[in-house]
Amino acid sequence: MVCIGNTGELHPDVVKAIEDSGLVASAVLSGNRNFEGRIHALTKANYLASPALVIAYSLAGTVDIDFEKEPLGKGKDGKDVFLKDIWPSRSTVKNAVSEAVNSEQFVSNYAAIAKGTDAWNALKVEGTKTYGWKDESTYIHNPPYFAGMTMNLNEIKDIKGAYCLLNMGDFITTDHISPAGAISPISPAARFLNDRKITKPDFNTYGARRGNDEIMARGTFANVKLINKMVDKVGPNTVHIPSGETLAVFDAAMKYKSAGK
């Protein structure tokens, strides 16, 4: 029930079953993102639903169910239990909300926001007017976008002799272009983090590291479910045309850049 939708790791036995059997695993979440590969790299069919339906599908253990005709399971008496039997009425929900939520909760919480927690207030900061960038940070990096900027615009030049980096069809989303999900351990972003002594348990996500342009540049078109017609396998790879090599998209782009292409 979160915006970004990342589930974390699946049980190794579940991973093995999906991979060994080629299963089309699915997920149901109450959030606002069901991009392929966002919930988890191994869940191909992802659906958005209300919190109550997320629980109902969890109880059923499958998305291949007709709630009106098929039971969620059996009760203690051995009889079938259907969704309609446990679905709360409007009055039940209203009563639960009135008992659990009151205006004082909002007043007290918002009154304490400016005070901060002990952990937050214990952070040591430099009393400078501008942000103190730290080159060693893998979360926040001073982006190079404004370096060398002048009042005069650079000349706009024609693009000539460029090679195709990706060839994608209609099924392309913002998450394919700039994923916010987990960082694959075999990705250019992972190599970047490994070089800085950051190991897989601490990779976090592209979304969490979006303040570092070095990470996000390596994450561009890094969605594990990317379909690039230039290669015959799903994933964030492409063909470096002059050499015929199949490379990660970022690696191919850097190779073109170094050659002036």
> Where in the chain are the domains?
12-91, 125-261
In tens, the pLDDT along 138-175 reads: 999 999 988 888 889 888 989 888 999 999 988 888 88
For residue 48, the cross-strand partners are 29
User: Model's pTM, two decimal places?
Assistant: 0.76
> Does the pLDDT at position 244 exceed 60?
yes
Between the alpha carbon of residue 123 and those of residues 69, 91, 96, 189, 250, the distances in Å are: 57, 46, 39, 28, 36
Q: Which residues pair with 27 in a beta bridge?
A: 46
Q: What percent of the chain has pLDDT over 90?
A: 61
pLDDT band at 124; cut points 50, 70, 90: confident
Could you tell me which residue, 4 or 160, shows the higher pLDDT?
A: 160
| Token reading at 105 | 């909760």
Give the pLDDT band of residue 2 (cuts 50, 70, 90): low
d(CA 236, CA 228): 8
CATH 3.20.19.10 fits 125-261, yes or no: yes
Instruction: Sort strands 245-248 and 73-74 into parallel, antiparallel or unpaired.
Output: unpaired
Provide the 10 A C-beta neighbour count for residue 161.
Answer: 6
What is the rounded average pLDDT for all residues in the chain?
A: 91
The DSSP result for 116-184, as a single string, is: --HHHHT------SS----TT-SS----GGGTT--SSPPPP----SPPP-----S---HHHHS--SBPP
Query: What does the radius of gyration of the chain's CA atoms come to, in whole angstroms?
Result: 24
Give the per-residue pLDDT at 90.
93
